[in-house]
Structure 1
């Protein structure tokens, strides 16, 4: 039986934006995450996808407390059976569970201090979270370097001496050194060449199998998402509009926005023609979101109801959730389906 490791409940994030009209104008509040809720099972990979500006990275950083959420809960279920709201932990309580949830950032170069050696970068979380002597730290750093494909003889070098793929391996080693149970991967391979991407993805999958790590994988590359994910959540303008297993989402999407994203996935056969859905208009401004369904200005299936009423995220199948008024009526095309019909 699967055990939940994380429950995100009604998570909201507001940013204060200064008015451009007057110098002394009061800042206004812009909601970039709205009522985000999902459950994460131990050992699985949940991918978060969506266009730039959809709130993917902000969500990941709120979960690890890199950014303070405005409201909501992130309930972490520890290996010992304790359930704690990770966002409300402070002091010793925060330090106790901090090592269990780590993050791999998008840019492996800017996330690594150029003034620290690779050894110091990887060992820093150990020094901060555990009372270990020098020989114990040396053994753990060498071990994790080897498991992530780093040459132990290069540990005294600095990040500038490594390639992009090697730097990302350093970042992965740093995240793994405390033996976390959950890792948030924020566009962890987007800055790498395709061949290096494959190596890092395979490394993450191997480490997951070996250590039973749970991943939240934030990405805009749906081909990678399809390869690595157990479940996928689609975000649009700070909200989850669809969430399902990878097979269900890619094979039978229920939201028009998901269908448009699926149309961008390249076909394995280059001779097989595939129609691309081009969304008209611009991505809505979070500071001035549209009425009703936030996707309706760009949706080919919109009706007056979509303009007036905001759809709630509801279950339409086995753990398949969607925020669309007409999810049961639309027959949308997935990655391997070229027919689009409305029943």
Structure 2
């Protein structure tokens, strides 16, 4: 049985926003993340999904310390079975473990320095974390370039000379070169063509098997999420509203928001027609969230209880967690596959 590599506990991120049209106005606190908690098992792929502005990218960046969280803990389990608070590390202690948690960004071109060659980009993490000879450096860069499908003869070129798919391979090679245990993929394939997406997804899965990597895969493309994930966490307005194994979530969602997201997944069968659930109303303002369940203004199943009382994320069985008062009573629709889709 796999063991946890990461435990995120009540991770919260606030921004102070001041109104631009009022001279003496007080800053408004905007909660981008609200008490997010989950465990990440070693060797698995946990996908984070949700509409734009739900806090997916902020969660990923807070975990890797690309930005500072307001409160909460990210407990990292080392290879020596130690448990350390990654957010609390400073100085040499932080540098010691920083190489174990890496990130692949959404836009490979903006995340790669145009003034550095591909060789320098890939080798930079090694220079920052290890003392290697020039021969050892060349060997490691060449090896990881080959593993990620990069032409070794192109290592002296610069990022502008490559296509989007090739630049993403460079970003993946840079993330892998320090042999991390965990990689956060932030919309890593969203800007790529369909055929290139498939290549990069297959590459990530092959590298995971080869190097025993754990992924947090942030995406809005549920078709890709279904293909690559072991578990899926659905976020809405800075909170996780559903967390479940991928098959359970796609076949039998328990939160109305998840049901609406799944209804937008395209079906490969042109003869099958399904009802698209259109969420009515405005997306709630994170600076002034609604009372009770934050999804209730757009939920077609809401009751007075939903308006007044916020639901907790609870286990309803088989490691399926849902933040909904009526998760076990509602009969929600998932993604229909195979023969059932034609009935």
- Which bracket does the TM-score occupy, shorter chain normalised? over 0.9
Structure 2 Cα separation of the partners of residues 256 and 230 of structure 1: 21
Q: Distance in 1 between matches of 2:2 and 2:249?
A: 21
Distance 1:283 1:90 in 2: 38
Which ranges of structure 2 fall in alignment gaps of 5 or more residues? none
C-alpha distance in structure 2 between counterparts of 1:270 and 1:213, whole Å: 37
Match of 1:298 in 2: 298
Corresponding position of 2:322: 322
Secondary structure, in 3 states, of the residue corresponding to 2:47? Answer: strand
Equivalences for residues 216-235 of structure 1 within 5 A: 216-235=216-235
Greater CA drift, 292-301 or 19-28: 19-28
Normalising by structure 1, we get a TM-score of 0.97
Paired residues for 1:121-270 under 5 Å: 121-270=121-270
Partner of 1:88: 88
What is the alpha-carbon distance in structure 1 between the residues aligned to residue 203 and residue 27 of structure 2? 45
Query: Which whole-Å deviations, capped at 9, do the CAs of 1:161-194 have from their partners, x for residues lacking one?
Result: 0000000000000000000000000000000000
Deviation at 1:214, TM superposition (A): 0.1
Q: Deviations over 1:105-159 (max 9, x none)?
A: 0001000000000000000000000011111111000000000000000000000
Q: Secondary structure at the match of 2:210?
A: helix
User: How far off is 1:25 after superposition?
Assistant: 2.7
Q: Which residue of structure 2 lines up, in the alignment, with residue 112 of structure 1?
A: 112
Give, in whole Å, the separation in 1 of the partners of 2:311 and 2:162: 48
* Partner residue, 1:271: 271
By how many angstroms is 1:21 displaced? 3.8
**Partner Cα separation in structure 2 for residue 295 and residue 305 of structure 1:** 13
Partner of 1:56: 56
Deviation at residue 102 of structure 1 after TM alignment: 0.1
With 49-58 and 268-277 compared, the bigger mean Cα shift is at 268-277
Q: Distance in 1 between matches of 2:267 and 2:28?
A: 44
Q: 1:311: how far off?
A: 0.5
Structure 1 gaps of 5+ residues are none
Structure 1 partner of 2:71? 71
- Equivalent residue of 1:84, what SS? strand
CA distance in 1, matches of 2:32, 2:85: 21
Say if 2:33 is the partner of 1:4: no
Task: For residue 317 of structure 1, give the secondary structure of its aligned residue in structure 2.
Answer: coil
The number of residues matched between the two structures is 339
TM-score by length of 2: 0.97
In 2, Cα distance between equivalents of 1:115 and 1:14: 34
Aligned mates of 1:128, 1:232 — CA distance in 2:
34
Query: How far apart in 2 are the matches of 1:191 and 1:64?
Result: 22
Task: State the alpha-carbon separation in 2 of the partners of residues 277 and 25 from structure 1.
Answer: 40
The Cα shift of 1:88 comes to 0.4
Q: CA separation in 2, counterparts of 1:283 and 1:113?
A: 36
Match status 1:289 vs 2:289: yes
For residues 160 and 274 of structure 1, what CA distance do their matches in structure 2 show?
A: 43
Please give the alpha-carbon distance, in whole angstroms, between the structure 1 residues aligned to 2:271 and 2:169. Answer: 36
How big is each residue's C-alpha offset from its partner over 1:252-304, in whole Å with a ceiling of 9 and x where there is no partner? 00000000001011112122111111100121110010111000000000001
Matched residues in 2 for 1:325 and 1:21: separation? 40
1:45 equivalent in structure 2: 45
Which portions of structure 1, spanning 4 or more consecutive aligned residues, are displaced by more than 4 angstroms? none
